[in-house]
Structure 1
Amino acid sequence: MIYGSLSVFEGLLLLSNILNAVKIEKLVVPELVQIGNVSEITLHCDFKTMNEGPYSVEWLFNERNVPIYRWNSYSPAKVNGILVDRLDLTFHVSSSVYDKGSILRLVRLDPQLSGDYTCSVTRNGTTVQQTKTMLVFSPERELDLEVRSRSQKSYDVMCTARGVFPQPDLILEYNNKLIPKQHQRIWRSGAELTLYDAESITQLEASCPGTVTCRLTLSEAGYMALKEKTIYTAQLV
């Protein structure tokens, strides 16, 4: 017997594929998270199946083979790697079985959580995946600008930024123009060496009055901070 142009076997195979189909409708991963603005974030892998039945959900981090989270219908959830001690295991949106494993609430946010998150859903041998990238950035804990007079028109200028992520750019300007021949140094800091400290120093030859600006930029985060000091005479106010 033929259904249209399909044989019975092909028709049954097609029907089986449809019934076993799984589809990720939407993967919700915040693109940008500022430390200090929020205390928790939620990842949501919104997937659909044609009918109820056993399935498994895995979350992968930065294309590594070992899941950072795994849930299936037959065993308790397993948490590994970057999510250990950062996942709220008591959080559930509803009692629906399809919320299990698909919605994760992350706490204890820090820059180590920055990276690519992949949701992988498997049902009856069919696997679908989606990936999104998240940047958890840290604005400066400190931004200090020091200007010392060497002579009537000569100054030592130093700007220091501490506790930022990702890698910053620290630029010195005088009256909104880049100061030439400045030296920038950047190094890792923090307990896990995940943050950055930076400094820029230069010697400035300038006629008074004028404004010295230190411009801190985290280009990946679209973030900028300024520190300014005004020179009135050979002494700073």
Structure 2
Amino acid sequence: MEAEIIAVAGVDVPVMGDENEKGIKRKEVKRPLDNTRVGKAPGMDGVRADVKGRGRSTISSLVLIPSSTGCNALHITDLDVPKVIQNGSRSSVILDCIYSYEPHDQGSLVVKWFWNHEPEAVYQWIPGKKPEAIGILRGRLNLEYSASKDKYSQHRALEILYPTTELTGFYTCSVSSFHDEEFESKRMIVYAPATRVNVSYHKTTPSTVNVTCDAHGMYPKPLLRLYEGATKQSRSLVKEAHEEVIEAEDGFSVYLQAQMEDRVLKQQETIFECVLSILETEYQVRRNIIYFKRDEKNYNEFLLMMLMIIFTNAPDSHEGKE
């Protein structure tokens, strides 16, 4: 029997199953004068009640006559989606959508998967029929995979073959019947590590240095940072670094460079460290280089001495002539 909500004209009605002071259950519900039916509902949603006292409630506007079928029987109990996978590291991966249902759901049960919140499903299975892969998952699934022996949840899961970076995104499982619908989403990242990471420096003037970090071949877009200092306690982020990001078919390339004056460097020997990471993963690569800050006075004296040595040892242009 379906529950129905009807309007009540200021009638004092006890909570369902409650009794009045004499132990007699009150069953009468008076309709409003216009006999207006407000609506129907499979459960308790939408009921407005001002509860007064214990065990009794004065329902000022709406009262629900309950259904015997219960509510929210169709329920996703667990959505198992791998959080992080390295590109090319696995032959397949399972995304499972575990749910419970009632007998009255069986005849109209439909399982769908969506990718990146797009309106069109990328997978659909109706018990008794073959599962279908659509869109980005067409040709990427093992459609024979069985997650359960139960014929009403047998093909609820996705077995993605050789997952690659383009399959990164949010996966939403939707389970529905004529009586109810539930959905849940989780993100899966398929990342590609860097093919190379470099750090270098060169002098732009006698008193300045240009430090460069570059990394190539990653996916998704990585985070590249430049630090000055030898340890986590002493190092500081070089905020002056300028970043350039280029996306290509083989992944992202990131370039980071900073020009610094020798006088602002704290130590005579400075360690510069480039740290490459991919957000929401544990992937991280570090590269460092040591820069020796030179003393300008000693450096100038050194250059002068070298010039004197060169000119002193230079052959006489008249030597060997008679």
CA distance in 1, matches of 2:188, 2:177: 27
CA distance in 1, matches of 2:239, 2:174: 51
Q: Which amino acid aligns with 1:53?
A: Q
Structure 2 CA distance for partners of 1:180 and 1:75, relative to 1, 3 Å: closer
Alignment correspondent of 1:221 = 281
Alignment correspondent of 1:129 = 183
Structure 2 CA distance for partners of 1:106 and 1:130, relative to 1, 3 Å: same
Normalised to the residue count of structure 1, the TM-score between the two structures is: 0.78
Residue 75 of structure 1: SS of its match in structure 2? coil
Q: Aligned-pair distance for 1:94?
A: 4.4
- 1:75-130 deviations in Å (ceiling 9; x for gaps): 32111122123212232244432343312111232232222221111233422222
Q: Is 2:95–2:157's contact at 8 Å kept on the other side of the alignment?
A: yes
Q: Which amino acid aligns with 2:237?
A: L
Alignment correspondent of 1:76 = 130
Structure 1 stretches lacking a partner, 5+ long: none
| Aligned-pair Cα RMSD in Å | 3.2
Q: Which amino acid aligns with 1:181?
A: E
Alignment correspondent of 2:93 = 41
CA distance in 1, matches of 2:199, 2:91: 30
Alignment correspondent of 2:81 = 29
Alignment correspondent of 2:162 = 108
Q: Aligned-pair distance for 1:150?
A: 5.0
CA distance in 2, matches of 1:74, 1:33: 33
- 1:136-187 deviations in Å (ceiling 9; x for gaps): 3333222111223556664332211112233222222232333353221011
Aligned pair partner of 2:223 in 161, 164, 169: 169
Q: Aligned-pair distance for 1:69?
A: 0.2
Alignment correspondent of 2:291 = 231
CA distance in 2, matches of 1:147, 1:217: 21
CA distance in 2, matches of 1:85, 1:104: 12
Aligned pair partner of 1:200 in 249, 256, 262: 256
Normalised to the residue count of structure 2, the TM-score between the two structures is: 0.59
Structure 2 CA distance for partners of 1:49 and 1:94, relative to 1, 3 Å: closer
Structure 2 stretches lacking a partner, 5+ long: 1-16, 18-24, 28-41, 43-65, 230-234, 295-322
Q: Is 1:159–1:201's contact at 8 Å kept on the other side of the alignment?
A: yes
Q: Is 2:88–2:162's contact at 8 Å kept on the other side of the alignment?
A: no
Q: Aligned-pair distance for 1:17?
A: 5.2
Structure 2 CA distance for partners of 1:73 and 1:180, relative to 1, 3 Å: closer
Return the structure number with greater relative CO, CA threshold 8 A, min gap 6. Answer: 1
Q: Aligned-pair distance for 1:226?
A: 0.9
Q: Aligned-pair distance for 1:131?
A: 2.0
Structure 2 CA distance for partners of 1:47 and 1:198, relative to 1, 3 Å: same
